[in-house]
A and B are shown apart, each in its own frame.
Chain A
Amino acid sequence: MNLKRLSLVFGIALALGLAAWAQAGGLEALLQSIRALLGEKGGQTFLDFAPIGDKTLETSVPQELPEIGKGTAAPGATLLSAVKAALSEKSVSIEQAFLLPPKEAGPVGNEFQEALED
Chain B
Amino acid sequence: MHRLLTATLLCVVWVTAALASGENDTPMGASTVSLNGIARGTVCKAGDSVDWWKVYTEESTEIVVFLDGVGGDNDLYFYNGTLDLEAQSTGSGSDEVVYGGVRKGWHYIKVYRYSSGCSDYYLGVLSADVSGYLRGTGDIDVYRLYMSAGTTYWIFLTDHSATFDPDLYLATSEHVIAESDNTGNIDVIKYTPSVFGYYYIAVGSASGSGYYWLFVGSR
A residues apposed to B, CB below 8 Å:
3-4, 7-8, 10-12, 14-15, 18-19, 22-23, 26, 30, 33-34, 37, 40-50, 52, 58, 60-70, 72-73, 75-76, 78-80, 82-84, 86-88, 90-91, 93-94, 96-104, 106-117
Q: Given A11-B11, A69-B144, A100-B91, are A19 and B191 neighbors across the interface (CB < 8 Å)?
A: no
Distance between A92 CB and nearest chain B CB, rounded to angstroms = 9
Contact A87 B146 (CB under 8 A): no
User: Complex Cα distance A117/B101, Å?
Assistant: 12
- A26-B19, A75-B142 known; A112+B179 contact, CB < 8 A: no
- Among B70, B178, B198, the residue within 8 A (CB) of A47 is B178
Secondary structure of the B contact surface, majority rule: strand
CB neighbours of A33 from chain B (8 A): 42, 120
Query: Are B90 and A86 in contact, CB atoms less than 8 angstroms apart?
Result: no
| CA gap between A8 and B15 in the complex, in Å | 16
Chain B interface residue number, banded: 35 or more
**Does residue B183 face the partner (Cβ distance < 8 Å to A)?**
yes
The answer to whether A58 and B171 have CB atoms under 8 Å apart is: no
The reply to whether B42 and A65 form a contact with Cβ atoms under 8 Å apart is no
- CB atoms of B202 and A83 under 8 A apart: yes
> Which residues in A have their C-beta under 8 angstroms from that of B206?
87, 90
- Cross-interface CB contact of B182 among A61, A70, A93, cutoff 8 Å: A93
> Which of these, B11, B102, B167, B175, contacts A52 with CB under 8 Å?
B175
What's the count of A-B pairs with C-beta under 8 Å? 267
Pick the residue among A12, A41, A97 that contacts B93 (CB under 8 A).
A97
The 5 closest A-B pairs by CB, nearest first: A100-B91, A11-B8, A112-B100, A97-B95, A47-B178
Tell yes or no: B27 within 8 A of A by CB: no
Tell me the bound Cα distance from A9 to B73 in angstroms: 45
How many angstroms between the C-alpha atoms of A30 and B40 in the bound complex?
9
Q: How far is the CB of A89 from chain B (nearest CB, A)?
A: 9
Q: Spell out B's residues near A (CB within 8 Å).
A: 1, 4-5, 8-9, 11-12, 15-16, 19-20, 40, 42, 60, 66, 68, 70, 73, 78, 80, 85-104, 114, 120, 129-130, 138-146, 150, 152, 160, 167, 169, 171-186, 188-192, 194, 198, 200-202, 204-206, 214, 216
Known A11-B4, A50-B176: A62·B144 in contact at CB below 8 Å? yes
**Are B142 and A47 neighbours in the complex by a CB distance under 8 Å?**
no
| A4-B182 in contact (CB<8A) | no
Contact of A65 (CB < 8 Å), options: B130, B176, B188: B130
Once the chains are docked, how many angstroms separate the CA of A87 from the CA of B185? 16
Report the Cα distance A50→B190, complex, angstroms: 15
CB-based contact A110/B130 at 8 Å? no
Which chain A residues border B95 with CB–CB below 8 Å? Answer: 46, 97-98, 100
Report 25 cross-chain contacts, Cβ distance below 8 Å, ordered by A residue.
A3-B1, A18-B16, A19-B15, A26-B19, A30-B120, A34-B40, A37-B70, A43-B194, A63-B141, A66-B130, A75-B142, A79-B142, A79-B176, A82-B176, A90-B181, A97-B95, A98-B96, A100-B91, A100-B95, A107-B88, A108-B88, A109-B88, A111-B185, A112-B101, A114-B103
